[in-house]
Structure 1
Amino acid sequence: MAEYGTQARMGFFTDTSVCIGCKACEVACKEWNAVPDDGLDLLGMSYDNTGALGADTWRHVAFVEQPVRPAVDLGMPAVGAPAQDGAGEDAGVRWLMSSDVCKHCTHAGCLDVCPTGALFRTEFGTVVVQQDICNGCGYCVPACPYGVIEKRETDGRAFKCTLCYDRLGAGLEPACAKACPTDSIQFGELDELRERADARVRELHAEGAPEARLYGRDPDDGVGGDGAFFLLLDEPEVYGLPPDPVVPTRHLAGMWKRAAVAAAGVAGALAVSFLGRRR
């Protein structure tokens, strides 16, 4: 079990199969963290008025509309699956909804590249930006494989979800999880959440939903597993998530070691050359 001192690692498990798209999590996040309003433009994307995660959107509820074929074409109940090319007339749409958030990666690229120490790993295993230390360099932005962290236009500093670090310190659950009416967003010890998620996938498979899968749960993936992971009902790309995220700094330690060895070799060669000339 991942621990930080005596504290178990904490995180989110988001079960998109029970998300109703109410956006209570978005509102609660903004209210508690004083995140600025990002407008009411529907962006031409159904009911999605935020579009993506960013400096002013720490929780983003994605609305994905998929055409559904008639039950007679599917050979199954009308809850159905997305239509395929030339597969009859649409019987309507199915909605896939998911509340996205910073993943609080095990191997966090943003944390690796921050030159000021503004980004740090908390005792709960989460990754937080200290706004009074951030200098707005922006190195963390391209280092995130999920495109989560962003600089705020008004002051140039980087902002993202803190997993309500101040609330955790007071023994409270994050505001978004507290506000979720369906328990789509579940907060707790990461190891226990993984067990709960595994059981939920088995339950959905038994109920006839073989497409149910976990995203970000695997500690052996390209980011070492996410501190905020998801149960999805389709491919990750459908939800706007990268299919195989890899932290860009995963080889950083090895690169520094090789650079040190190379530098030592150059220094040794120069020393030998200098001594040879003196003789």
Structure 2
Amino acid sequence: MVENAIFYDASKCIGCRGCQVACKQWNGLPGDKTVFWGSYENPRTLTGNTWTKINFREKREGDNVKFLFAKTQCMHCSEPSCVAVCATGAARKMPDGRVEIDQNRCVGCKNCVVACPFGAANFSEDTGTSRKCHRCPDRVEAGLKPACVSTCVTGALNFGERSEMIKLAKQRRQGLWAEGQKAIFYGLNEAGGTNTIYLLNDEPEAYGLPKNPQVATANIFAGWLGVGVAGALIALVPFKSFLEARERGLKGGRS
């Protein structure tokens, strides 16, 4: 099966957050309780009930300040860290390129939450499981685009075969260069390549994106498991000593 991807053109995004609303509406996600913290960006991070959001960043250029917008969600990595560290097989890479978390198999261990370099997987107190963007497979199977893509009024979001999205992104980059604008790809190679591709007008970190996202592997998970087992064994040593001392005391009391 051909892998699909989302192409996000930051130069066309106006920060309307229609994608945030569409995601919640289609997936029946409750709103997160938030407070004003000095930015139009809300909520501040992705959560178990917020699977996509727009980052708002301000950048000063001389006497002017401009907004930088970046849509954040699961990157649907080619080498997903969440899949590598999932102990139950709930997180899995699908043939169409997306990454999903099977809610029936997830035990809420939060390994994926720790491992994801993009902060996309998050624990939901409502369900006791990790949740994130699954890229609307029900819509795609019905011949529709993901909810966030369908609602974008400026054409900042596009969806299709990954190769076609890369071609579209390269064409757009040429156009921005011709206008004298900076145009930087993100997601083509990061984290082994992702199925969410960005075209940015500035460096990734200016948008709140990790510059060099690190991919977790099964070896790392094995290391975590080893540390956990070792910790448990160490904890048993004083407990064993306590039991032995208690037994000696009981025997002394009976003699």
CA contact (8 A) 1:15 1:230 kept: yes
Q: Which residue of 2 aligns with 1:72?
A: none
The whole-number CA distance in structure 2 between the counterparts of 1:119 and 1:33 is 19
SS, match of residue 26 in structure 1: helix
After the TM superposition, which residues 28-47 of structure 1 pair with which residues of structure 2 at under 5 Å, given as runs?
28-45=22-39, 47=40
Q: Which residue of 2 aligns with 1:199?
A: 171
Q: Which residue of 2 aligns with 1:8?
A: 2
SS, match of residue 66 in structure 2: strand
SS, match of residue 8 in structure 1: coil
Amino acid of the structure 1 residue aligned with 2:15:
G
Q: Which residue of 1 aligns with 2:116?
A: 144
Q: Which residue of 2 aligns with 1:169?
A: 141
CA contact (8 A) 2:85 2:220 kept: no
Matched, 1:102 2:70: no
Q: CA deviation at 1:33?
A: 0.7
The whole-number CA distance in structure 2 between the counterparts of 1:250 and 1:116 is 13
Structure 2 residue ranges without an equivalent (≥5): 224-255
CA RMSD of aligned residues (A): 1.9
Instruction: Give the paired residue count.
Output: 223
Q: Which residue of 2 aligns with 1:49?
A: 42
CA contact (8 A) 1:103 1:226 kept: yes
Q: CA deviation at 1:246?
A: 2.0
Q: Which residue of 2 aligns with 1:230?
A: 198
Runs of 4+ deviating beyond 4 Å: 250-253
The whole-number CA distance in structure 1 between the counterparts of 2:68 and 2:156 is 13
Q: Which residue of 1 aligns with 2:58?
A: 65
The whole-number CA distance in structure 2 between the counterparts of 1:104 and 1:167 is 17
Q: Which residue of 2 aligns with 1:112?
A: 84
After the TM superposition, which residues 210-225 of structure 1 pair with which residues of structure 2 at under 5 Å, given as runs?
211-218=182-189, 221=190, 223-225=191-193
Q: CA deviation at 1:105?
A: 0.3
The whole-number CA distance in structure 2 between the counterparts of 1:122 and 1:169 is 13
The whole-number CA distance in structure 1 between the counterparts of 2:19 and 2:102 is 23
User: TM-score, normalising length from structure 2?
Assistant: 0.82
Q: Which residue of 1 aligns with 2:127?
A: 155
CA contact (8 A) 1:107 1:250 kept: no
The whole-number CA distance in structure 2 between the counterparts of 1:144 and 1:67 is 30
Structure 1 residue ranges without an equivalent (≥5): 1-6, 70-89, 257-279
1:77-133 residue CA offsets vs partner (Å, 9 max, x unmatched): xxxxxxxxxxxxx2x321111211110000001011111121122231110111122
Q: CA deviation at 1:183?
A: 1.1
State the identity %: 41
User: TM-score, normalising length from structure 1?
Assistant: 0.75
